[in-house]
A and B are shown apart, each in its own frame.
Chain A
Amino acid sequence: MAHGPAKGLTRWLYTTNHKDIGSMYLWFSFAMFLLGGVFALVIRAELFEPGLQIVEPELFNQMTTMHGLIMVFGAVMPAFVGLANWMIPMMIGAPDMALPRMNNWSFWILPFAFAMLTGTLFMDGGAPNFGWTFYAPLSTTYAPPSVTFFIFAVHIMGASSIMGSINIIATIINLRAPGMTYMKMPLFVWTWLITAYLLIAVMPVLAGVVTMMLFDIHFGTSFFDAAGGGDPVLFQHVFWFFGHPEVYIMILPAFGIVSAIIPTFARKPLFGYSSMVYATSSIAFLSFVVWAHHMFTVGMPLAGELAFMYMTMLIAVPTGVKVFNWIATMFRGSMTFETPMLFSVAFVILFSIGGFSGLMLAIAPADFQYHDTYFVVAHFHYVLVPGAIFSITAGVYYWLPKWCGNMYNETMGKTHFWLAFIGLNLTFFPMHFAGLAGMPRRIPDYNMMFADWNMLSSIGAFLFAGAQILFLYNVIATIRSNNKATAEVWENPEGLEWTVPSPAPYHTFSKPPKLS
């Protein structure tokens, strides 16, 4: 503790401290969460009732595209990296990340990537308007000029993710305190280790596919153009080879967070630790062999269709194991329901509902009716919002007292939870019905038969957004308050992070801790 942080702006620009970088990642992701949220509100405002009221179809398509890209790459992924930065060194008894300078670099290129991506909104021809899945040739031959900036931004985000993952893997493999064997690591560390490998495996694939787009657009190749001997469906295969592991990248760390929180508030050790590790690994492995279930309607041969259907159905097994383990952890515990626990319990329930609709989507013949409808929108928002967003929120409430040394306002936290919970279900549950009734996704206007569900969704969306403002206020108020937290914060929580004082000193575990 010889020296603390530098003063002023340079502290943040030059910092190699995992806690500073973790905080920057978290604040950045929250800013992106609000920005992506504003885009979502534009979409929901336009869809409040039939007819075109607020935006023209061109801008509507830009909003759906930017909402998806910003939320996936700007809000969810950096938030998990931020949590990893803060918590992994403290959880394994390491003094910092293994590669601190690269850590700084992997964060600081992100604001530039997103400034460039957001900047496309002001360009001639508008922002990318081809959906976050950017299927060719809509995203190549028929794309607005800003697509080149989008490609460059994706390259930078990919580089940041790859550097972040290398750092996390190097830290976990090399910097564990003596006695911290792999099977003693907290599950958050385990799930992040697996996530980091997924990222290293698939981010280059994403970089490859956008580079192929770049060549098609500017250098006369025809990877995705049938007229030149290419194939538009090739794009989808390559994209989803990245895209499916990517959705697990956004959920595996969430499993880790929830596996830390539920035992604390059930006052009972996590049930089936080793089966959790194996289930996570199985999910990660399966994520590489199911990508074409996003493409059941492209006209694959029957054998391919069947193989991808069976593989996809199989994912339900390890996912089910995780849910059952969490419930077994709660069973015969001594539970209290502070804000982190509320968000975690909601995670288990709502993520399961998203899992159920996922199982329905896996049935290929039924998928012909579900595909590209609001049923799919409901499905992936049920796994991503209560999955990723709720778990991140739970993690923030759980560890915030450790980060800033102050206890948050429990009443405000619970109010935030209930508003978000009601808002989320009001927004996304009706989408199941709209989709089954036949409403395609990504349309700016619709027939009156979808009007009622859409109106409910729009009301829910604004409620959910309001809840996040309360969250922001609560976090800022906590940081500035004087309501000191103890080192343990909660009742007998497990983990090395609770053995250091609150707030955690600028440098922790300069000497490795002794593990009992």
Chain B
Amino acid sequence: MLNRARSLFCPLLVAVCSTAISMQSSAEEEVERWGLNMTEGVTATSRNIYGLHMDILIWCCVIGVVVFGVMFYSMIMHRKSRGAKADNFHESTTLEIIWTVIPFAILIIMAFPATTTLKEIYDTDEADMDIVITGYQWKWKYEYLGQDVSFFSLLTTPSSEIKNETAKNPNYLLEVDEPLVIPINKKIRFLITANDVIHSWWVPALAVKKDAIPGFMNSSWTRVDVPGIYRGQCAELCGKDHGFMPIVVKAVPQAEYDEWITKRRESAAKLKAMANQTFTFDELYTKGEQVYNTACVACHQPGGVGIPPTFPAIKGSLVATGPIEGHLNMVINGSSKNPAMAAFGEQLSEVDLAAVVTYQRNAFGNNMGDSVQPIDVLKAKQ
């Protein structure tokens, strides 16, 4: 009965204003506005959840129509201005029993499909592959277990769009440098944790939302059946840039995925080899500027001025104008006093670390004139 009601009701609801929003618009598409309803998504689980959502919504609407109908009838008909005389009834055990039992029965009807769906969501066994997802302030790290591939995924929306200086692109705040790439029709298990505070990994089209908790590992899973780009956001307040750490999942056919993971593995190996090379000052400085603008700028701000006291300035700071060892130690291991300064040793490559430290020592008028090579970083790490 509910399924039929849903098929009647749902198009009606959706047609009233616009179609249901799904966060899967690709870059060329226009933004869908006036989104009214939950996305149906692209997995069996997400469709089950959508079904539950519509069922309970319809029950609520039906109850609402009956209850408010009686109420409005009474408010219109039983007005003093219409000459209504007040009755005096004020008790009926029969009525009380009826309106206790009926809601209870509805709840039991709803509890069965909800229980079944919940059991499915919790069944993380027999996955085809595992991906470890780690939340950081304010980015995500994806690690393909056993594949030697791991990378960070950061917001790419330019600050000029956020500050309203340039027009906003359709994927405003929902775009990253490196999306999570997964094969379709495979059961993928996500192992979700965090490095600092609690985050929550949420992609509506996958109907996966799981808290990323520092020191603990949560698990969830998905099996996507439609290739596409699916966007989501961090769903747990995690500090200043909570609104600026989106998630982008790219679901592709298996062959395309295999090609991608091979390339990714090769470039990772190449990056590792670069740690033994020597770079010129200009190379380091230029590279360092790029790294600064992705890894450091959120807290230390453009121009290195910071947001004291939580996020100190780099411009003229004692660390950036002091001995190189101290500076490297701060960047690699984080601050022992201020937890907001994370340890970047595992987050950035040796080349990036060398470059960014070089940049920080010479930009913003710090002008120390010295530079750091990847090999120095390796030594400092040991």
The residues of A with any CB-CB pair to B shorter than 8 Å are 50-53, 57-58, 61, 124-125, 129-131, 135, 137-138, 141-142, 144-145, 225-227, 231-233, 266-273, 275, 297-299, 302, 305-306, 309-310, 313-314, 316-317, 320-321, 323-324, 327-337, 345, 348-349, 352-353, 356-357, 359-360, 363-366, 368-369, 371-373, 433-434, 436-438, 440-453
Contact = CB atoms under 8 A, between A and B. Distances in A.
B230 to A, nearest CB: 11
Contacts of A302: 118-119, 122
13 contacts: A52-B163, A124-B309, A137-B214, A335-B75, A336-B79, A360-B53, A366-B49, A371-B200, A436-B35, A437-B37, A438-B23, A438-B39, A440-B233
Interface string B85-114: 111111110011001100110010011001
Interface string B159-175: 00111100010111110
B57 A297 contact: no
Given A142-B197, A299-B210, A437 B21 contact: yes
B215 A226 contact: yes
A359 B79 contact: no
Contacts of A450: 35
A445 B107 contact: no
A443 B238 CA distance: 10
Given A226-B215, A331-B70, A371 B235 contact: yes
Contacts of B204: 369, 438
B197 A449 contact: no
Contacts of A352: 64, 67-68
A226 B214 contact: yes
B181 interface: no
Contact of A331 (B38, B74, B216, B242): B74
B100 A333 contact: no
A320 to B, nearest CB: 5
Interface string B195-236: 011101010100111110111101100000000000011111
B243 A57 contact: yes
Contacts of B379: none
B213 A58 contact: no
A327 B67 contact: yes
Given A433-B35, A447-B174, A366 B86 contact: no
Nearest to A336: B80
Contact of B87 (A227, A333, A436): A333
B94 to A, nearest CB: 11
Nearest to A443: B243
A309 B36 contact: no
Interface in B113-141: 114-115, 117-119, 121-122, 137
A384 to B, nearest CB: 19
B80 A328 contact: no
Interface in B47-86: 48-49, 52-53, 56-57, 60, 63-64, 67-68, 70-71, 74-75, 78-81, 84-86
B4 interface: no
B239 interface: yes
B32 interface: yes
Contact of B117 (A53, A268, A365, A445): A365
B12 to A, nearest CB: 16
A448 B31 contact: yes
Contact of A365 (B52, B92, B310): B52
Bin chain B's interface residue count. 35 or more
A232 B254 CA distance: 38
Contact of B90 (A135, A272, A323): A272
A334 B233 contact: no
Contact of A359 (B21, B56, B68): B56
Contacts of A441: 237
B243 A452 contact: no
A366 B113 CA distance: 11
Given A298-B211, A433-B35, A447 B172 contact: yes
B38 A321 contact: no
- Per CB-CB distance, the 9 closest pairs between chain A and chain B, nearest first, are A226-B215, A437-B35, A443-B243, A299-B218, A356-B60, A332-B87, A334-B86, A267-B86, A365-B117
B240 interface: yes
Contacts of B49: 365-366, 368-369
Nearest to A345: B75
Contact of A297 (B37, B53, B211, B219): B211
Contacts of A225: 215
A43 B142 CA distance: 33
Contacts of A125: 309-310
Interface string B165-199: 00010111110000000000000000000001110
A57 B211 contact: no
Given A232-B216, A449-B31, 6 more contacts: A141-B339, A142-B137, A272-B96, A335-B84, A363-B53, A369-B38
Contact of B111 (A131, A226, A310, A332): A310
B78 A365 contact: no
A484 to B, nearest CB: 24
A363 B35 contact: no
B118 A445 contact: no
A268 B90 contact: yes
B244 interface: yes
